[in-house]
Amino acid sequence: MKTTFLKIALISLSVLTVTSCSSDNASKDEVIINPPAETDPLTTQNVTTYMVDASATKETVALFYNLKKLAKTKIAIGQQDAFNSYYQDNGGDSDIKKNTGSDPALLGSDFIFITDKNNNNQADNWFYQQEEKTISDVKAAYAKGMINTFSWHLREPNNEDSFYAADMTADQKATAFKSILPGGTNNEWYKKKLDKVASVVSNLKGANGELIPIIFRPFHEFDGSWFWWGANFCSADDYKKAYQFTVDYLKNTKGVHNILYAFSPDNSYTKEADYLSRYPGDKYVDVLGMDNYGDFDNQGQTGATKANAKLIMIGSLAANKVKISALTETGYQVSATKPPVTDWFSTYLYGAISNVQGYDSTISISYVMFWNNSKDAYFVPNGSVSNATDFKTFATKPKSALLNSLPKMYELPK
């Protein structure tokens, strides 16, 4: 299996790029899908009964409801680190806004530097500066009406040098994940990391003092084995326990009530039973997601069709469970040695995320997030590159929603 590993680089101690890590060896098995629910039972009165956190803030409740309903008509388009990662270091507006005139509907951030061992909470500390920048970006996105989502490239608990399994010894790979579970040698270490996450999330506030909702997707792409929490390094039961512990600790022990929790494997699953094999349960998940780079890696319509079938599977599950469904990461990275694919956005990606192949039209995804741009490569074109028009066409399709066509997400409809 070929897996792409692109390391974190600290460039001039000012620009960070966490590069997507995803399998491009998708299964060729036929996708088996259970029929979706006939009707959507979600109402403004019963919404909390379908959420992880029955005590969620009103803005978080509204975000869940509005994201679930959004998929009937629109798909929110977002990008990781959109306010800080620019192709060719061309700063200012997000690259999406440079191209389209609108910011993305969704901003992706990461807890990586916030929880880094070198973050000493001092103003002159580079890692703390990144924490402050992340917080500032989240607040700016919320003020604009955007949706905020967080991943967590948590470094392994032994040396805290890397989140990649390839950088660990065989013994470390075999023991690291289990060690963070309750009773494990690194459970207290993990709780301290969660304490930091809780502190930051509990202090994300809008202009009126309200808590800013975020979508949090811990231990993502777990079906692959490029991260130390990957399938080769923990059992299904241990994975579920770690996910459940994470949610329970943040929600119940730390009293954090402005989080929606996302479950986001990579693209290996083609059957519902397999997709759910490490699922921690409906009480722990708000968003059913999938990261998928491999099916879109210059595979044309064949790859788009594979991706579409998997998204239909997730959409059907989300309909039956009354959860949100999403393409939590994707993209095709263009660089000096990897040219754009003609009509990648407007034909292949748009078809995969909007064509439901005869299923109920409500079976669709609520958002799609592209990975971050960098100085030398990009997932989303700014206005100056050869496939800029392709993205602009994609962004103006009927189901596409940048910020300029995103409805109010933090208020329940009257």
Which residues are CB-neighbours of 192 under 8 A, at least 6 positions away? Answer: none
Q: Are 68 and 366 in contact (CB under 8 A)?
A: yes
Q: Tell whether 384 is covered by a domain.
A: yes
Lowest mean pLDDT among 23-32, 136-145, 266-275, 299-308: 23-32
Q: DSSP secondary structure string, 124-170?
A: T-HHHHHHHHHHHHHHHHHHHT-EEEEE--PPPTTT-S-SBGGGS-H
Segment 253-264 shows an average pLDDT of 98
- Its pTM stands at 0.92
Strands 15-17 and 9-11: antiparallel
Q: Tell whether 2 is covered by a domain.
A: no
Segment 311-335 shows an average pLDDT of 96
Q: Looking at the DSSP assignment, which residues form a beta bridge with residue 80?
A: 108
For the chain, what is the domain count? 1
How many other C-beta atoms are found inside a 10 Å radius of the C-beta of residue 335?
Answer: 11
Q: Tell whether 411 is covered by a domain.
A: no
Q: Kindly report, residue by residue over 127-166, the tens digit of the pLDDT.
A: 999 999 999 999 999 999 999 999 999 999 999 999 999 9
| Catalytic residue numbers, as ranges | 221, 329
Rounded-to-integer distance, Cα 123 and Cα 110, Å: 20
Q: Are 212 and 148 in contact (CB under 8 A)?
A: yes
Q: Which among 355, 288, 291 is positioned nearest to 322, based on CA atoms?
A: 288
Which residues are CB-neighbours of 375 under 8 A, at least 6 positions away? Answer: 11, 15, 86, 87, 88, 89
- Residue bearing the bigger pLDDT, 282 or 39: 282
Rounded-to-integer distance, Cα 59 and Cα 210, Å: 8
Share of the chain above pLDDT 90, in %: 86
Lowest mean pLDDT among 4-18, 185-199, 227-241, 245-259: 4-18
What is the per-residue pLDDT for 51? 98
Q: Tell whether 215 is covered by a domain.
A: yes
Whether 25 has a pLDDT exceeding 80, the answer reads no
Segment 256-269 shows an average pLDDT of 98
Q: Tell whether 146 is covered by a domain.
A: yes
Q: Which among 212, 189, 215, 188 is positioned nearest to 202, based on CA atoms?
A: 212
Which residues are CB-neighbours of 165 under 8 A, at least 6 positions away? Answer: 173, 225, 226, 227, 228, 230, 232, 233
- CATH code, domain carrying 176: 3.20.20.80
Q: Tell whether 332 is covered by a domain.
A: yes
Whether 363 has a pLDDT exceeding 50, the answer reads yes
Whether 19 has a pLDDT exceeding 90, the answer reads no
Q: Which among 117, 111, 119, 114 is positioned nearest to 214, based on CA atoms?
A: 111
The first and second tokens of residue 106, run together, are 């969704």
Q: Which amino acid is at 220?
A: H
Q: Tell whether 271 is covered by a domain.
A: yes
Expressed as residue numbers, the domain containing 123 is 9-405
Q: Tell whether 286 is covered by a domain.
A: yes
Q: Identify the three-state secondary structure at position 201.
A: helix
How many other C-beta atoms are found inside a 10 Å radius of the C-beta of residue 170?
Answer: 7
Q: Where residue 24 falls among pLDDT bands split at 50, 70, 90?
A: very low
